[in-house]
Copies of this chain bind each other. A is one copy, B any other.
Amino acid sequence: MTTEQTDAQIANALKAVAARENVTDIFFVACGGSYAQMLPNQYIVEREAKAIIGNALNAAEFKARAPKRLGKNSIVIALSHSGTTPETVEAVKIARAAGALTISLTHDLGSPLDQASEFTVSYFFSPMTMSPTHAAAVLARLTFGILKLREGNAKAEDLDKGLAMLPTAVDELIAERQREILQFAEAHKREAIIYTMASGPNFGPAYSFAICLLQEMQWVHSAAIHAGEYFHGPFEITDFDVPFIQLIGVGPSRPIDERALTFVKKFSQRVTVLDANDLGINSLPASVSEYLAPLVFMPILRVYADKLSDAKGHPLTVRRFMWKMEY
């Protein structure tokens, strides 16, 4: 694919959004790491929409819940990298049969997901970089595009400005951080468990790092702890030797992150902090910086995982179950 193709596919899908008589709901439907990429978009809708509902659901859960509201006033946005995730393909079929407008993201045009969806957007895949045509960016463009067309939300332009700055910003950031990322990798290569912690729009990247990078690709036990939930249970497992990776966002959820950080640093000597304020987020357009933070955290976290995998001698591509058997 080319940037022009992705741009045209987004424009095409948004033309259909504009043509709908009414839009009341956006369902964001996917599994695993793709589901994690939906979470910041539910956050965007909850923060920005006057009336439209945003609801991110695991695709199997979407099918089981079969929300009664699903219908011709719904938009269903789905994501599956291979385009073959059966639950996601089935969810899109159900949604389309119910009259919803279906827009899918997949890396493989021609895949079952592409075939099942009314509209498909293909994207650029390179997990240690970020650009306006990466999946996470395409999702944000669709979300703000819908809010612009249906509710007059004025932030799509700032979003585009910010996204255009990300390729260089992320590359430079990763280059600058090499030394401390390598130190993290060496220091954590023998850990059996590493927690992640975040809130607001950054819970998605924290969840993705826990379940895809640590559990799936490194066989390290993990859980994403919501920083606002930390004090209501999880914090009791904090101890001097329990490792945490904490994301500190910008915007209104930042105080939640900061409160958790103050505590966790007091009782654990193994806290790795990624603070959006130190990652250049503040040089992005202020009206959308909180929404762009997850798009900066994602590629940087991928480099953390990449270096951890080098230090462990356990490549990110190794699996014992996935792709190896029926399940």
- Residues on A lying within 8 angstroms of B by beta carbon are 31-35, 43, 46-51, 53, 55, 58-61, 63-69, 85, 87, 193, 199-200, 210-212, 215-217, 219-224, 226, 228-229, 231-238, 251-253, 255-256, 259, 263, 267, 319-322, 327
CB-based nearest B residue for A223: B223
B60 touches A228 (CB 8 A): yes
A33 touches B232 (CB 8 A): yes
CB-based nearest B residue for A43: B65
What's the nearest-Cβ distance from chain B to residue A264, in Å? 10
The residue that A46 contacts in the complex, of B65, B212, B322, B327, with Cβ under 8 A, is B65
Count of this chain's copies in the oligomeric assembly: 2
CB-based nearest B residue for A237: B215
Compute how far the CA of A219 lies from the CA of B236 in the bound complex, rounded to whole angstroms.
Answer: 6
The residue that A234 contacts in the complex, of B46, B211, B259, B320, with Cβ under 8 A, is B211
A252 touches B49 (CB 8 A): no
Chain B residues within 8 Å of A259, by CB: 327
A65 touches B50 (CB 8 A): no
CB-based nearest B residue for A67: B46
What's the nearest-Cβ distance from chain B to residue A175, in Å? 29
Chain B residues within 8 Å of A256, by CB: 60-61, 64
Known: A49-B69, A211-B234, A236-B319. 11 other contacts (CB 8 A): A31-B229, A33-B232, A53-B53, A60-B256, A61-B253, A61-B256, A64-B251, A64-B255, A66-B252, A223-B224, A263-B327
Chain B residues within 8 Å of A49, by CB: 68-69
Most chain B C-beta atoms within 10 Å of own C-beta, residue among A48, A50, A63: A63
Chain B residues within 8 Å of A252, by CB: 63-66
Chain B residues within 8 Å of A235, by CB: 216, 321-322, 327
What's the nearest-Cβ distance from chain B to residue A296, in Å? 19
Q: A199-B61, A229-B58, A233-B211 are in contact. Are A68 and B43 (CB under 8 A)?
A: no
Chain B residues within 8 Å of A233, by CB: 32-33, 211-212, 215-216
What's the nearest-Cβ distance from chain B to residue A206, in Å? 12
A32 touches B327 (CB 8 A): no
- 13 intermolecular pairs with C-beta atoms under 8 Å apart: A47-B68, A58-B229, A61-B228, A64-B252, A64-B256, A65-B253, A87-B228, A211-B234, A212-B232, A217-B236, A223-B224, A236-B322, A259-B327
What's the nearest-Cβ distance from chain B to residue A193, in Å? 6
B236 touches A60 (CB 8 A): no
